[in-house]
Amino acid sequence: MSVQQPNSFRTGPDERGHFGIYGGRFVAETLMPLILDLEKAYAQAKADPAFQKEMDGHLATYVGRPSPLYFAERLTEHCRSVKTVSGLMGAKIYFKREELNHTGAHKVNNVLGQIMLAKRMGKTRIIAETGAGMHGVATATLCAKFGLPCIVYMGEVDVERQKPNVLRMKMLGAEVRGVTSGSKTLKDAMNEALRDWVTNVADTFYCIGTVAGPHPYPAMVRDFQSIIGRETREQMLAAEGRLPDSLIACIGGGSNAMGLFHPFLDERGIEIYGVEAAGHGIASGKHAASIAGGRPGVLHGNRTYLLMDDDGQIEEAHSISAGLDYPGIGPEHAWLNDMGRVKFLSATDDEAVAAFQLVSRLEGIIPALEPAHALAKVFDIAPTKPKDHLMVVNVSGRGDKDLASVEAFLESKTK
């Protein structure tokens, strides 16, 4: 069945927060006034040159932007060494190095904007959820900078496997609240944060870490993260004199991917790949690939693709990567999938760990396990492309937080 393509992929959402049938705001009545206030405040801030000027200053002097666009020469050579019929194959691979931002990931781009917005709205208490801990660290960091109390909800499973980030959050003055319900991972942390928000509506700002949740969060987070793609356009034009031929990024909720993709969506000749976490394999049922193994439903205030059973109950996700271990995906990604604009792939735990190791040794860059999923697909895609094909991979976080998890994973393979 053919799908009618929109005139532009960059105009959504509509006034009710929908991307096609996805998105919206499915929240308790208690939260609706807060959501409407947030929508109004964000629209005003976005139109205020002083807000943007202040944010640009912090991005430059505190976050360290622009992040480099780096030619991964040895990875490119490795992919070109794969034998092909013509011997002329193998894309030229660039990394968008978001792991070099202050706090070590892309998360800080969005958190900066939201904390500035919270202060503008007069909110005096910040709450957040986190899986891999990078959003929690970014929120704790910006709360410390701006003098705001910070509470971070984190599943107990993630508290255990992401201890370095838990210690960082506490050092920065945040209170980390472990969540013991459900699968004790990101979904459950988000549940607890929403409960907190409903209970403390007057003074609390909920800083959501991805392009999910009720409108206006998916669009707002996308807008704050789109600096990744805007910089990539400028940097690729400077380096190569033209735009890239393909973009690749990992997707859990999908903020790093949307940040890279969005400025390029109307360049219809550019191939765009989103890589979900296949865990032990899609067929095993133990994965976090909502597009590959899910169906449309409602969770955390928006309609999107979810992992759920025939009765509509949310199923537990699995990924070695705490940041991708979520049973849903941002609603704009769901729409882009249905429109056929983004091709969604998936990488298993085994593939991600192999990419984590190989990229570390080839480039001297230890990626987080999250972007290691995207890098795993580079090894499949790049050798099939001609040598003049320009590929950009979003290395959305650094991997020191994952060393213990990778060590334990590799040890388990030898037993």
Task: Tell me which of 39, 98, 99, 129 is the catalytic residue.
Answer: 129
| Active site annotation includes 192 | no
Q: Show the tokens assigned to 334.
A: 């769901």
Strands (E), 243-329: 246-250, 271-279, 295-299, 302-306
Burial 188-202 (b: 16+ CB within 10 A, else e): bbbbbbbebbbeeee
129 is catalytic: yes
283 token code pair: 């067929």
Active site residue 284: no
Three-state SS string over 30-87 comes to HHHHHHHHHHHHHHHHHCCHHHHHHHHHHHHHHHCCCCCEEECHHHHHHHHCCCCCCC
Catalytic residue selected from 92, 96, 107, 187: 107
Residues 149 and 396: their CA atoms lie apart, in Å, by 27
67, 183, 396, 405: which one is catalytic? 396
Measuring CA to CA, how many Å separate 367 from each of 103, 163, 243, 309, 360? 14, 17, 24, 33, 7
| Alpha-carbon separation of residue 143 from 9, 41, 208, 248 (angstroms) | 34, 19, 14, 31
Cite the active site residues. Answer: 107, 129, 396
